[in-house]
């Protein structure tokens, strides 16, 4: 009789957070990290990769769409994380993705897999990725190529269709390469959805929400696991701080 499938875990290296999902993210998952600006999405993603490289010997790749590489390196240095050194040791690579590279991203991911063999992957952000993909779909050759493809299917190019195909294909590709991925996503407080594309939260294996909470006079940062396939997890808000060491879960 087949036994229960033992799920391999990919740890943040932040003990309370890992425990909150029974030991870490199920390996191979694509997880959306969403929240308003300044909520800590980029810092958590960097910490996931730096801890992966230094604590678990799991190489990672960070793909930056919003910020230039130098800013990422400088932000990490504030917490004592030496990205350049990790790059030299082939344990972490920061890749800047330009707008016109989006249509070729699928090939680029295959290249990354072959050359770097990462286990962890971060795309910061899926919001920019989706916006750029939309822009491309309405421009020049890419539009024509897409149009031919879609006309064959008898389908009309619409925003929801572009969203569905770009996001679905991206997540499918990341999973097929075996990466455990974090995809950051910008949201504003008034939004009923966790992602601006209103879609990746359904397609992704997990959703982690970073937010600010008011508690009487006190206001604090909170992280909450909204969804995580293949594992049990806590559903309550976990208060945290950003300190000189990065993200630290607050002791209550």
195 is an interface residue for ligand ADP by CB under 6 A: no
Nearest distance, CB of residue 212 and ligand ADP, angstroms: 10
Nearest distance, CB of residue 99 and Mg ion, angstroms: 17
User: Of the ranges 42-50, 196-204, 224-232, 244-252, which one interacts with Mg ion (CB under 5 A)?
Assistant: 42-50
User: Of the ranges 38-46, 49-57, 107-115, 226-234, which one interacts with Mg ion (CB under 5 A)?
Assistant: 38-46
Find the distance separating the first CA and the last CA of the chain, reported in whole Å: 45
Joined together, the tokens standing for residue 90 give 């082939």
x/- letters, 21..50, toward ligand ADP (CB under 6 A): --------------x-xxxxxxx-------
Peptide bond into 125 cis (omega under 30): yes
Total residues belonging to the chain = 252
The angle, 0 to 180 degrees and rounded to 10, between the axes of the packed helices 105-116 and 159-176 is 10
Please identify the residue of the shown chain whose CB is closest to the bound Mg ion: 42
Nearest distance, CB of residue 33 and ligand ADP, angstroms: 8
Nearest distance, CB of residue 32 and Mg ion, angstroms: 13
Question: Taking CB under 6 A as the criterion, which residues in 216-245 touch ligand ADP?
Answer: 242, 244
What letter does residue 237 receive in the DSSP assignment?
-
Q: What angle do CA 146, 128, 184 make, to 5 degrees?
A: 120
Nearer of residues 124 and 146 to Mg ion, judged by Cβ:
124
- Let me know: does 225 contact 14? Beta carbons within 8 Å: no
Nearer of residues 42 and 137 to Mg ion, judged by Cβ:
42
Nearer of residues 43 and 170 to Mg ion, judged by Cβ:
43
Q: Give the number of C-alpha atoms closer than 13 A to the C-alpha of residue 99, restricted to the C-beta side.
A: 8
Joined together, the tokens standing for residue 235 give 């559903």
Q: What does 26 bind: Mg ion, ligand ADP, none (CB cut-off 5 to 8 Å by kind)?
A: none
Question: Taking CB under 6 A as the criterion, which residues in 57-96 touch ligand ADP?
Answer: 78
Rounded to whole angstroms, how far apart are CA atoms 114 and 160?
32
42 is an interface residue for Mg ion by CB under 5 A: yes
Rounded to whole angstroms, how far apart are CA atoms 193 and 200?
10
Q: What does 104 bind: ligand ADP, Mg ion, none (CB cut-off 5 to 8 Å by kind)?
A: none
The answer to whether the Cα torsion of 159, 132, 176, 199 is positive or negative is: negative
Number of residues that bind ligand ADP (CB under 6 A): 11
CA distances from 149 to 29, 67, 140, 144 (A): 29, 33, 15, 9
In the complex, which residues of this chain contact ligand ADP (CB under 6 A)? 35, 37-43, 78, 242, 244
Q: Which residues bind Mg ion (CB under 5 A)?
A: 41-42
């Amino acid at each position: 009789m087949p036994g229960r499938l033992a799920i391999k875990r990919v740890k943040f290296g932040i003990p309370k957070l890992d425990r909150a999902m029974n030991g870490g993210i199920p390996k191979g998952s694509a997880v959306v990290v969403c929240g308003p600006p300044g909520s800590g999405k980029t810092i958590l993603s960097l910490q996931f990769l730096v801890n992966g490289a230094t604590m678990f010997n799991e190489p990672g790749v960070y793909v930056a769409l919003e910020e230039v590489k130098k800013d990422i390196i400088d932000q990490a240095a504030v917490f004592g994380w030496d990205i350049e050194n990790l790059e030299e040791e082939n344990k972490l690579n920061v890749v800047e993705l330009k707008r016109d590279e989006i249509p070729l991203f699928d090939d680029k991911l295959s290249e990354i897999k072959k050359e770097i063999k990462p286990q962890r992957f971060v795309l910061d952000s899926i919001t920019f990725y989706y916006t750029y993909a939309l822009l491309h779909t309405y421009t020049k050759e890419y539009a024509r190529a897409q149009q031919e493809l879609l006309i064959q299917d008898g389908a009309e190019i619409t925003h929801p269709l572009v969203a569905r195909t770009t996001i679905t294909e991206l997540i499918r590709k990341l999973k097929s390469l075996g990466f455990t991925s974090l995809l950051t996503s910008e949201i504003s407080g008034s939004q009923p959805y966790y992602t601006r594309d209103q879609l990746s939260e359904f397609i992704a294996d997990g959703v982690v929400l970073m937010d600010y909470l008011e508690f009487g006079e006190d206001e604090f940062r909170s992280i909450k696991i909204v969804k995580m396939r293949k594992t049990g997890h806590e559903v309550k808000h976990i208060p945290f701080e950003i300190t000189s060491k990065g993200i630290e879960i607050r002791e209550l």
